[in-house]
Amino acid sequence: MNKLFLILTMLFIGITVSAQHIGTEYRLKKVIPVEGRQGIAIDDKYYYVSSSTALYKYDKQGKLLLKNETPFKGLKLDANHFGDIDIWNGELYCGIEMFMDGRGKNIQIAIYDAETLTYKRSLDWDPASGQVEASGLAVDRERNMVWISDWVDSRYVYCYSLETGKYYTKMQCRPTPYWCQGIFIADNTMLFSADDGESTFHIADCIYKADISNVPYTGIKDGQAAGAMAGKLELFREMTDFRRAGEIEGLSIDPTNDNLVVLNNRGVQIILGMPKGPFSEEGYTKEIHELYVYEKVK
């Protein structure tokens, strides 16, 4: 009887640890400086951060444990840029592309081993979908799918089946988030981080949400996307508690405690998605990258 109780308890703990839930109210708990400026993924023990050209692994106190600064070796297509990332079943899913002057090509969903940060394989992008850039990326764990956002044209987010590795559908964002940088999925809801503020004028960026309970297949027909679903976006949170308005990036939810973690960059001007120069009049000499960890209140 005691053994059965122990097994059931362990199963319950396992289910709890692997689930992520979105709250309605958050309180800033701490800010952690990191080296990466693009994406954040979280598992039971670690934070994973992407820079434009590297992957980093941290413990949850902010200690750097491992990095891969040559992550593009072995890719099927040339790339120079990571976007946002997510983690599922011990693997990091990364949006990768060749990005230059506000435009992307050679888009891939590249998959890395979370333990070693080494490249394993890629899912092919389908140009017929209409996607022209890869910024945010999120695994839909309930449906075994992966979604990618487009910073160049944020009207749509694009969905691929992890079962087939093929393009599945896309969702029109209504209204459109301005310069979507990161996405995350939990509770049949997609969160969007949008670089829709104005760092020059200290105007905050925002996070939005949309229900994705129903995701019908549309696929590709006659060389183009055969259809799309509509997603109604609502304001989730205005990020007025960042230390300085800058460039919001990826976001994720901690599976152990439902903390919301958001990556933000501050201190430099951003032109066409590229950091150009520091706000020297404010004392900045370089760009600063930070994880904002928010405790779920309810």
Question: Residue 203's domain is classified under what CATH number?
Answer: 2.115.10.20
The residue range of the domain holding 165 is: 2-296
Residue with tokens 């960042």: 242
pLDDT in tens, 24-40: 999 999 999 999 999 99
Instruction: Report pLDDT for 75.
Output: 92
Of 192, 237, 213, 234, which Cα lies nearest the Cα of 23?
A: 237
The two structure tokens encoding residue 45: 């023990």
The two structure tokens encoding residue 246: 């800058």
Are 264 and 247 in contact by the 8 Å Cβ rule? The answer is yes
HSE-up (13 A, CA, CB side) for residue 294: 21
Q: Name the phi and psi angles at 278, rounded to 5.
A: -80, 155
Using CA of residue 63, residue 49, residue 81, residue 87, what is the dihedral sign? positive
Instruction: Report pLDDT for 96.
Output: 95
DSSP 223: T
Specify the number of domains making up the chain: 1
pLDDT in tens, 125-147: 999 999 999 999 999 999 999 99
- Quick one: average pLDDT of 110-125? 96
pLDDT in tens, 261-292: 999 999 998 877 678 889 999 999 999 999 99
Instruction: Report pLDDT for 18.
Output: 55
Of 117, 134, 98, which Cα lies nearest the Cα of 57?
A: 117
Q: Distance of CA 263 to CAs 4, 41, 108, 214, 248, Å?
A: 42, 10, 22, 29, 6
**Triad 80, 81, 83: Cα angle to 5°:** 165
pLDDT at 12 exceeding the cut of 70: no
pTM of the model: 0.92
Instruction: Report pLDDT for 15.
Output: 41
HSE-up (13 A, CA, CB side) for residue 32: 21
